[in-house]
Structure 1
């Protein structure tokens, strides 16, 4: 796993990575700016109380709450925004490290959009459900990394594996390597909260997962291949 992560980092200078990094950064920052602007405008234009200072307090606290929730959901939003742009990253990794692989399994664009939307919905719902627990010191870190580690490991795995495996084989390999994928997800979740680094996470995580996935396929007796 360490070797796979190191190989992902050493390829960051690849031109195919640069374009995706730039586009995902712009798209993600734009989305969050739009969200924050919309919520802030709604709060400031709505007078919930007749007491000015109380309205101002609600506006400020509301904006801070939006920022906090946005930070919690950052990993999910980033991968959702950039998922449709990561194909070139996977191809670059395969071209450099796995030139013997055949053509990938064709995936309809609508399938990718549907999978990304479903993933984002699940992440938002689950994180909102456990939101009160995030207020408890120590426990909040455990819950955050376990929950998002599982979700991110699963999502990046499916993003990569469905190019090479049919859904049934993809699920089989996932069940056999569930702990490894969970650990990979925790690493990705940790990187996702590091400022600046988190903007590079979609590309690093995708390249990382390609190497992890190929190692997993080789270790299993019946992994299947496209």
Structure 2
């Protein structure tokens, strides 16, 4: 099973109006979140009642620190934002590539929404672990961070996509039987997340790629007549 094929098919749809709309909304939310982080960092420095020169230096260091933190936390923030538009992206992919599919009837919307929150929190927690590892083990820490991100993105997005058309236990079972290709796609997406500007597309491309991967798995393991997942 070629892990690059789902990603390539997802990239071929980047001109879709739905994808473009979600991208702009994600950028707007991300800018708002990181602007708030910068304001909070500068406000915190001013609460320390430092001398004027120290406060000025603190503003600079606070801004730099907030910028570095924002870069590191981009992926979990983007994942959380992307989950807000998860259903919209999935439907756009199915409308273009799989119009024969019936409407999704999997887990309830409340369960899917909660699972999206859990995915974002897991990515955030694992990114914090990766940050600690990167500081304690330079070089190796970044590699471990990539592996952690590959797991978080791959498993989280795939199970979320699968739950649109099946109960959670079944979705988890499908993931368990196809762990290698799912994590391979997750590794590609996690690597791309380190590239500035490209990382803005990760929630969109990641969701679309997992829809394609799900179709690839179903068509390779289920007889053609029963492959309408």
User: Which interval holds the TM-score relative to the shorter structure?
Assistant: 0.7 to 0.9
2: CA distance, partners of 1:126 / 1:92: 30
Partner of residue 173, structure 2: 172
State the shift of 1:21 in Å. Answer: 1.2
Partner of residue 87, structure 1: 87
State the shift of 1:51 in Å. Answer: 6.0
Alignment of structure 1 residues 92-131 onto 2, 5 Å? 92-105=92-105, 108-131=108-131
Partner of residue 31, structure 2: 29
Indicate how the Cα distance of structure 1 residues 56 and 132 shifts in structure 2: closer, same or farther if over 3 A, else same: farther
Contact 1:153 1:186 in 2 (8 A): yes
State the shift of 1:78 in Å. Answer: 0.5
Contact 1:20 1:85 in 2 (8 A): yes
- Which stretch of the first structure deviates more once superposed, 179-188 or 112-121? 112-121
- Which stretch of the first structure deviates more once superposed, 198-207 or 162-171? 198-207
Alignment of structure 1 residues 202-213 onto 2, 5 Å? 202-213=203-214
2: CA distance, partners of 1:55 / 1:215: 57
Contact 2:134 2:140 in 1 (8 A): yes
Partner of residue 155, structure 2: 154
Contact 1:165 1:225 in 2 (8 A): no
Contact 1:73 1:123 in 2 (8 A): no
Contact 1:43 1:59 in 2 (8 A): yes
CA-to-partner distance for each residue in 1:53-91, whole Å, 9 max, x for gaps?
Answer: 555555544443333232222111102112121322211
1:65 maps onto 2:86 in alignment: no
1: CA distance, partners of 2:132 / 2:161: 33
Partner of residue 77, structure 1: 77
Indicate how the Cα distance of structure 1 residues 179 and 23 shifts in structure 2: closer, same or farther if over 3 A, else same: same
Contact 1:107 1:163 in 2 (8 A): yes
1:193 maps onto 2:194 in alignment: yes
In structure 1, list runs of 5 or more residues that go unmatched: none
Q: Which runs of 4 or more aligned residues in structure 1 lie more than 6 Å from their structure 2 counterparts after TM superposition? A: 222-225
CA-to-partner distance for each residue in 1:97-150, whole Å, 9 max, x for gaps?
Answer: 112211102655543442233223223333323433212332022111100110
